[in-house]
Structures are given as C-alpha cells and as structure tokens.
C-alpha cells in the first residue's frame, strides 16, 4: 500500500505559540485515519496546513509523492520578475528617444502592454511559467484550490455552506474544478458548455442522493436541518472527485442515531468510492469503529499512533485526556 | 433522515407565474430579445403622443433614451463586479473614461485617424478590460474596504492623468470634434439633430450585453462569483481559483464600462476629464443599489428610472413651472418661489434621500434577485423552509464551540 499523503516534520508557529510541532504523519491509500486529541491540540491547524490554507513554518507535505506544501522559498523574487521587464523596456525607450513624443508614446504603450502580459501570465500560471519559477529556485506552497485540483476535498468544523444557494448549487460549486467551460463558452452558450452543465447536474443529484439528500436539491442550504447541512457539506466536497477527503468533526452536534448513520456513510465512501479519509473526531465510538489507524495530538505534538486498540491502552493518551495519575 | 421533502402545493396564481418563469428560463435569450423589442417599440411610439410629447420633442426623448442607455450599460457592468462577485468598486468611471479616450484617439482631428465605429466599440471595450486587469491584478488580493479604497484611488487617478498629460490629451479642454459613426443602412447618418440612430444602436448594445451577462450568470463562472461573494474561504477550499475568478469579474465589468465610454464619446463628440469624476461612479453605484443588486434586468430598469428622473424630470419641472406661470406665494416670513428653485441641483440630495429610504424600507432594491431577498429577509424564509420539511425530526441544539480553540477556520 502506498502513502497518499506524507507529512515530514511539519511545524507551525503563530507568534510565540507552537500550534503544530514537528509532526510526522502518513496516510496510506484507501484507509481511514483519525486525528484525535484534546481541545487546542492543533488538530484543525494541522488540517488547515494540509488543505493549503496555512503555509507551514517548516517541514513539508507530499501529496501523491509530489511535494506540494512547504514554507515558501524566494517568494519575493516573483513580483520583481513581474515588474522588471516593463521597467527595462521603458528605460530602453527612454534612452532611444528622449524628448521625442512619438517614441515616448510607443514606449508607454509597450510598457503597459508588457506589464499586463506579465501579470496575466503570473496569475494564470501556465506550466512553462511554473518551470521558470522552479529553475529560479522559487517555491510557492499550494493554495487551497490547488489542493482541490490535486485531489483533496474537505469539510469544515463549523459548517461553511453557501447559505443562500440551493443544495444542488452548492454541489455544483464543489464540482467547479472538474468543469472546464470557460467564460467564452458561457457567453456563447456553446454545445460543450450546455452538455457539461447538464452532465454536472445529473452528477450533482447523484451525489446528493448518495449522502441521503434525495429530493432536497432545490432547498436553500440555510433552510436545511443541521444534520442535512453536514451531509450537504460532504456532498459538496465529493463534487471535486477527491482521492483524499478531510472531514473536520463530521458528527459534531448530532444525535446518536444520526451519528451512526453518518459513520455508515463514511464507511460507504471508502468501500464504494475508494476514498482515503482523514477524520478529526471527538466521538470515540465513531473513531474506534471505523478507523484503521488513530493518531493522537496533544499540545501540537504527536503523542501516540497505532490501531484503535493500541491507542486506547496507551498511558500517554489516557494522561492527555484525563490528566496524570496522582503520585 | 430518510424522510423526503413534500413541497406544499403552491397556490394556482403562483403556479402560473412559475410556469411562465420556467419558459423564460429555458429560452432566456429569446425572451430578452422579445422584451427588448416590445420596449423599443414602446419607446418609439410613446414620445409621439400627448403626455410625453408635451414635455419634450420626440427627438429629445430619443436622445434621453440613448443617454439613459449609457447608464444602463454602466450599471449592468458594475452589477457584475458588485452584485455578482461582491467586490466593491468605487472607481468605475475610470474604465468609462478609458473607453471614451480610446474612441477619441481613433476618431478625431487631434489624432488625425478615422476608424470605423463598430469595430472601435470592441477595441474600446478591450482596452478598458486591459486596464481592468492592470488594476485588478495587484489589488484583488485585498478584501472589502481595502479594495474599495484602491478602486477609489484609481478612479481619481485616471481623470487626473488625462487632465495633466496635456500633450496627449489637451488637458481640461479635452479632445473635441470627434467624428460621428458612419451612416447606418436604411436609417441614414448619425447626427445631433436626429438622435434616433444612437437610440437604435444603444438598444442593440444593451440587448446583446444583457443576453451575454445572463448566460454568464447561469454558468459555472456565475456560480463561482456567487460562492466567492458568500464565503471566499469556502469557495477556495472547493477548488475555485479566487484570484482569476475575481479578476474576470473585474475585467468584464471594465469591458462593459469601456463599451459605454466609446458610445458616449461618439455621441457627445467630445471627451474631457470632467466627464469622468467620482460623481459618475457614485451615480452608477446608486443606480445598482436602487435597482436591486445582483439582478440584471432590475439594475437596468433602476438605472433607466434614475437617469430619467435626473435628466428629464428634474430638468423639466422648471420648464413646466415657468410655462404655467406658477405663482410665488408668501407664508409670513417664508417666501416660496418654486420657479426660481433649480431642481436639477437637488439631484444628489434626492439620491441621498432615496438611498436612506431604500435601506430602511427595501434594502434589497426595487427589483431584487431571489437570492438577495433571501439574504436580507432571514425570518420569513426560515418559516417557509420549515414548512417544507415538517417530517424531519427535531435535532438537539448544537453544542457551543470554544472559539479560542478552533480559530483556525476563520482566516
């Protein structure tokens, strides 16, 4: 079994606080790995680093054996690259035709044109541009949307649905990175755009049915009951066809019956869709039932790792949760 | 949780309306063309008959309609930036100016070039888009207030640049004597005396722009804008490249503005920096808010109404009062002489009053989009939602989450 994600010595500091301290962590393909720990242990911070929201202070993360996340290197060089060509061009024109209005005008136009071109390239980031950056030793950590394109889906601890959009639209937004119609396709209403849109709607309805929201496609997200909102968030994350799904406390605030249903759903996601799942969870019944491996964090450090049974008997874990036994 | 939703049967009138809505949704472009054709015919005939023909000559009405069209275009473009993508742009007039000056360079004795009008519409729009990207690229990483300040600055800089680069722009005097567009087949030449051609061309531009914007709104891009407006972090975490998507909104807004600029320059035959001051940006913003942010046709109607009030109604109150010799009357120390009140000068006072009333009574605008109404009227919608899903078991309340622990999500 290969590892889908490998974190090496990941550290994150916020000012003087070390939220995550030198964590080594791997997620094998098609497994369910849980991350547990008391409040404030750094679980969500670690999660956000994997999802590309924070850059780590040090260490790196490989996703599908590709280094995607690390502390940015020589990031200051990139804006310099953008501004340099227009300035050089302007200087050149100035030297050639000082006091000649026509030459000046051409120079100004050329400068603006190059600046726009360079900025566009810098924003669209075609592959050759990435190669140039790599050659110059510039490394930019992946942003959240890059991670989604690479195959990672996530949910949030405090539900972050698009409240005023319908359930179907929420899932369609989740599918955004897998749709390819450009704005030109959209304004020309090309066959490609229409077919893609129809197929996307069919797929979105399937996903909603999969998580148990059949027949609620047209309801506005904020009007859904709490449990359904959690399910909708999972459906939205599945929209991008992820290989790794990060679930941040998926059963928080649910009653026992709903918790069992959701646990079954998570198991089904692995068997039916072949997903790998990383779970943050406080409900130990859920964790112990479905996890292949459990990692325990406390104060930003990994204190235990192993099968659910091993972790349950680990004295360090008991101490972290219940306090040290009296001497 | 296996319970299925049972939508309550809507009342019959609503059912008919929603069936009509389904048809118009399915054939949106056709609907827009049909509606615009009816509106155009109405606009053509109404000024010929009494209530309107008394106020102004029909020709002047067509002229006002064409001018209103410029603001309709501006408002629809700003609606892309503010209403759809949720980016507050206070310097929108800058792109209007760039479009206008582009036309001025291509069609004036000053530059000695005379290029055809219709291709220049596209070129002007393109140049404005380029400047939209130039401004947007470094600033769109900012959010909310900071973006507003940056755009405000850009909106101030552009007219000042045109004012001070007087070798290239003739400074305050502006570039005058622009050539009018080539004559249209059947309708004859464009001229200041018979502005009917401008009116027809404007209707065409507005119709096309509207169709394209509606298509964009219904597409994957429109959904992405909506998602960014609702929750930028969640949008990014769902695979939307927020930088390029916002930049696209900005550039498309600028494009529409540039289009309006080219048209306006060809109609006025002069461009000068004082046509593009902050008041223009502000007026367009007020139009978008009054019309109903996010709703394309609502914004268009809002802009049309506001322009007609400011340019026709206020101007003609004085004329009408003078014509009927409205008497001045004394109320003790108060001497009221309405004939001498310049109503046109009350334009911005009226905007202020209208906006304040709007925020109090109908914050979503005159013709809001479905979505905005939902955002601003939480309670009513909540009741509706509960009605539709009555057989869902009541859930226990969410346990409070310690905010200090998981502050990580709220970046």
The whole-number pLDDT of residue B342 equals 76
Sequence-separated (6 or more) residues with CB below 8 Å from residue A61? A5, A6, A7, A8, A10, A49, A50, A67, A68, A69, A70
Touching check for B51 and chain A: CB below 8 Å?
Answer: no
- Per DSSP bridges, beta strands A276-280 and A32-36 are parallel
Binned at pLDDT 50, 70 and 90, residue B368 comes out as confident
Residue A253: closest C-alpha in chain B:
B398
> Which carries the bigger pLDDT value, residue B324 or residue B34?
B34
Interface test with B, best of A13, A107, A189, A244 (most B CBs within 10 A): A189
ipTM: 0.88
User: Please, what is the average pLDDT of chain B?
Assistant: 81
Q: Which residues of B touch A220 (CB under 8 A)?
A: 374, 381, 385
* Per-position b or e across B208-223, b if 16+ CB within 10 A of its CB: bbbbbbbbbbbbbbbb
The whole-number pLDDT of residue A189 equals 81
Q: Please report where in the chains the tokens 């990139």 appear, as a residue.
A: A78
Task: Please give the structure tokens belonging to residue B272.
Answer: 């000068």
Q: Within its chain, how far is the Cα of A261 from the centroid?
A: 25
Sequence-separated (6 or more) residues with CB below 8 Å from residue A123? B137, B243, B244, B247
* Per-position b or e across B370-400, b if 16+ CB within 10 A of its CB: ebbbbbeeeeebeeebeeebeebeeeeeeee
Binned at pLDDT 50, 70 and 90, residue A236 comes out as very high
Q: Which residues of A touch B169 (CB under 8 A)?
A: none
Q: What is the pLDDT of residues A111-142, one digit of tens each?
A: 888 888 888 888 878 888 888 888 888 888 88
Q: Do A214 and B4 touch (CB under 8 A)?
A: yes
User: Please, what is the average pLDDT of chain A?
Assistant: 86
Q: Do A231 and B219 touch (CB under 8 A)?
A: no
pLDDT, mean of residues B10-16:
64
Q: Which residues of A touch B220 (CB under 8 A)?
A: 172, 176, 179, 181, 186, 197, 200
* pTM of this structure: 0.85
Residue A216 to residue A238: CA distance in whole angstroms: 17
Residue B334 to residue B316: CA distance in whole angstroms: 25
Task: Please give the structure tokens belonging to residue B353.
Answer: 């009053």
Q: Do A173 and B235 touch (CB under 8 A)?
A: yes
Can you give the length of chain B in residues? 411
- Per DSSP bridges, beta strands A152-154 and B334-336 are unpaired
Q: Do B236 and A253 touch (CB under 8 A)?
A: no
Which residues numbered 375-394 in B keep a CB inside 8 Å of some CB on A? 375, 378, 381-382, 384-386, 388-389, 392
Question: B371: closest CA among B298, B266, B270?
Answer: B298
A307–chain B nearest CA distance, Å: 26
Q: Are B283 and B306 in contact (CB under 8 A)?
A: yes
Residue A104 to residue A93: CA distance in whole angstroms: 7
Q: Do B236 and A116 touch (CB under 8 A)?
A: no
Q: Which residues of B touch A209 (CB under 8 A)?
A: none
Q: Do B1 and A162 touch (CB under 8 A)?
A: no
State yes or no: pLDDT of B36 exceeds 70: yes
User: Looking at the partner chain, which of A124, A176, A248 has a beta carbon nearest the beta carbon of B238?
Assistant: A176
State yes or no: pLDDT of B98 exceeds 70: yes
> Which carries the bigger pLDDT value, residue B162 or residue B12?
B162
The whole-number pLDDT of residue B398 equals 47
Q: Are A248 and A157 in contact (CB under 8 A)?
A: yes
Binned at pLDDT 50, 70 and 90, residue B12 comes out as low
Q: Do B408 and A47 touch (CB under 8 A)?
A: yes
Binned at pLDDT 50, 70 and 90, residue B376 comes out as low
* Per-position b or e across B159-182, b if 16+ CB within 10 A of its CB: beebbeeeebbbeeebbeebbbbe
Q: Are A235 and A207 in contact (CB under 8 A)?
A: yes
User: Looking at the partner chain, which of B5, B240, B411 has a beta carbon nearest the beta carbon of A176?
Assistant: B240
A255–chain B nearest CA distance, Å: 7
Q: What is the pLDDT of residues B269-302, one digit of tens each?
A: 889 998 898 889 988 998 898 888 888 888 999 9
User: Looking at the partner chain, which of B215, B237, B395 has a beta carbon nearest the beta carbon of A255?
Assistant: B395
The pair phi, psi for residue B256, each rounded to 5°, is -60, -40
- Per DSSP bridges, beta strands B175-176 and A3-14 are unpaired
Binned at pLDDT 50, 70 and 90, residue B378 comes out as low
Question: A207: closest CA among A194, A193, A217?
Answer: A217
Residue A154 to residue B239: CA distance in whole angstroms: 10
Q: Using the 8-state DSSP alphabet, how is residue A142 labeled?
A: P
What percent of chain B shows pLDDT beyond 90? Answer: 24
State yes or no: pLDDT of A308 exceeds 50: yes
B395–chain A nearest CA distance, Å: 7
Q: Which residues of A touch B5 (CB under 8 A)?
A: 215-216, 219
- Intra-chain end-to-end CA distance of chain A, in Å: 44
Strands (E) in chain A, as ranges, are: 3-14, 17-28, 32-36, 58-63, 66-70, 152-154, 244-248, 276-280, 293-298, 301-306
The pair phi, psi for residue A143, each rounded to 5°, is -90, 165
The whole-number pLDDT of residue B107 equals 86
Task: Please give the structure tokens belonging to residue A296.
Answer: 């325990």
Number of CB pairs < 8 Å for A and B?
Answer: 199
Which string of DSSP letters, residue by residue, matches A263-302? Answer: HHHHHHHHHHH--EEEEE-S-HHHHHHH-SEEEEEETTEE
User: Looking at the partner chain, which of A124, A228, A258 has a beta carbon nearest the beta carbon of B244?
Assistant: A124
Q: Which residues of B touch A123 (CB under 8 A)?
A: 137, 243-244, 247
Q: What SS3 class is residue A23? A: strand
Q: What is the pLDDT of residues A157-188, one digit of tens each?
A: 888 999 888 899 999 999 998 888 888 888 88
Binned at pLDDT 50, 70 and 90, residue A327 comes out as low
Binned at pLDDT 50, 70 and 90, residue A309 comes out as confident
The whole-number pLDDT of residue B379 equals 46
State yes or no: pLDDT of B407 exceeds 60: no
Q: What SS3 class is residue A69? A: strand
Q: Please report where in the chains the tokens 């980031």 appear, as a residue.
A: A125
State yes or no: pLDDT of A83 exceeds 90: no
pLDDT, mean of residues A92-100:
75
User: Looking at the partner chain, which of A219, A258, A261 has a beta carbon nearest the beta carbon of B5?
Assistant: A219
Question: B138: closest CA among A184, A116, A274, A266?
Answer: A116
């Amino acid at each position: 079994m290969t590892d889908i994600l490998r974190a090496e010595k990941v550290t994150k500091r916020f000012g003087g606080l070390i939220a995550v301290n030198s964590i080594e962590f791997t997620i094998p393909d098609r497994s369910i790995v849980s991350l547990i720990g008391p409040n404030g242990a750094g679980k969500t911070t670690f999660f956000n680093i994997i999802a590309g929201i924070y850059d780590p202070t040090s260490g790196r993360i490989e996703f599908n054996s590709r280094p995607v996340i690390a502390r940015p290197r020589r990031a200051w060089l990139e804006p310099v690259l953008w501004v340099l060509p227009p300035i050089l061009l302007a200087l050149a024109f100035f030297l050639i035709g000082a006091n000649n209005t026509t030459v000046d005008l051409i120079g100004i136009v050329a400068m603006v044109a190059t600046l726009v071109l360079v900025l566009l390239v810098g924003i669209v980031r075609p592959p050759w541009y990435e190669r140039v950056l790599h050659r110059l030793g510039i490394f930019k950590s992946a942003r959240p949307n890059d991670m989604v394109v690479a195959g990672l889906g996530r949910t949030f601890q405090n539900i972050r649905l698009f409240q005023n959009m319908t359930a179907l639209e929420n899932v369609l937004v989740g599918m955004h990175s897998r749709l390819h119609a450009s704005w030109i396709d959209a304004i020309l209403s090309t066959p490609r755009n229409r077919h893609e849109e129809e197929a996307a709607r069919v797929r979105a309805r399937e996903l909603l049915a999969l998580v148990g929201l059949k027949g609620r496609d047209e309801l506005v997200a904020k009007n859904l009951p709490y449990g359904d909102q959690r399910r909708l968030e999972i459906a939205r994350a599945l929209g991008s066809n992820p290989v790794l799904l990060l679930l941040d406390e998926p059963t928080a605030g649910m009653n026992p019956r709903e918790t069992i249903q959701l646990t079954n759903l998570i198991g089904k996601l692995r068997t039916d869709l072949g997903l790998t799942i990383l779970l943050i969870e406080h409900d130990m019944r859920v964790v112990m039932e479905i996890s292949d491996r459990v990692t325990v964090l406390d104060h930003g450090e990994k204190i235990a790792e192993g099968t659910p049974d091993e972790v349950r008997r680990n004295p360090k874990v008991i101490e972290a949760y219940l306090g040290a036994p009296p001497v | 949780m296996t319970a299925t939703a049972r939508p309550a049967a809507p009342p019959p009138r609503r059912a008919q309306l929603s069936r009509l809505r389904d048809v118009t949704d399915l054939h949106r472009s056709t609907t827009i063309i049909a509606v615009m054709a009816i509106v155009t015919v109405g606009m053509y005939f109404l000024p010929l008959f009494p209530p309107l023909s008394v106020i102004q000559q029909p020709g002047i009405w067509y002229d006002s309609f064409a001018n209103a069209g410029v603001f309709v275009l501006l408002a629809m473009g700003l609606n892309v930036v503010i209403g759809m993508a949720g980016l507050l742009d206070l310097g929108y007039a800058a792109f209007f100016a760039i479009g206008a000056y582009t036309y001025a360079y291509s069609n004036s004795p000053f530059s000695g070039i005379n290029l055809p009008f219709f291709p220049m519409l596209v070129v002007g729009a393109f140049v404005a888009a380029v400047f939209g990207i130039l401004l947007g690229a470094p600033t769109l990483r900012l959010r909310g207030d900071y973006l507003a300040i940056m755009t405000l600055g850009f909106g101030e800089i552009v007219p000042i640049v045109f004012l001070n680069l007087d070798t290239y722009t003739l400074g305050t005097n502006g570039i005058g004597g622009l050539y009018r567009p080539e004559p249209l087949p059947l309708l004859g030449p464009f001229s200041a005396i018979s502005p009917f051609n401008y009116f027809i061309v404007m209707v065409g531009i507005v119709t096309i722009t509207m169709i394209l914007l509606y298509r964009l709104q219904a597409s994957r891009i429109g959904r992405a804008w909506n998602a960014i407006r609702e929750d930028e972090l969640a949008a990014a975490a769902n695979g939307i490249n927020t930088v390029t998507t916002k930049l696209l909104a900005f550039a498309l807004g600028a494009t529409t503005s540039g289009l309006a600029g080219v048209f306006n320059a060809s109609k006025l035959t002069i461009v000068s920096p004082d046509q593009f001051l902050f008041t223009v940006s502000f007026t367009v913003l007020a139009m978008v808010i009054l019309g109903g942010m996010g709703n394309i046709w609502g914004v268009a109607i809002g802009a049309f109404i506001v322009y007609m009030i400011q340019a026709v109604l206020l101007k003609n109150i004085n004329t009408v009062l003078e014509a009927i010799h409205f008497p001045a009357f004394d109320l003790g120390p108060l001497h009221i002489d309405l004939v001498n009140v310049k109503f046109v000068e009350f334009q911005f006072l009226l905007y202020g009053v209208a906006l304040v009333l709007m925020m109090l009574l109908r914050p979503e605008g005159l013709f809001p989009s479905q979505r905005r109404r939902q955002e601003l009227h939480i309670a009513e919608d909540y009741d509706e939602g509960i009605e539709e899903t009555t057989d869902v078991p009541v859930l226990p309340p969410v346990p409070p989450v310690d905010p200090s622990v998981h502050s990580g999500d709220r970046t």
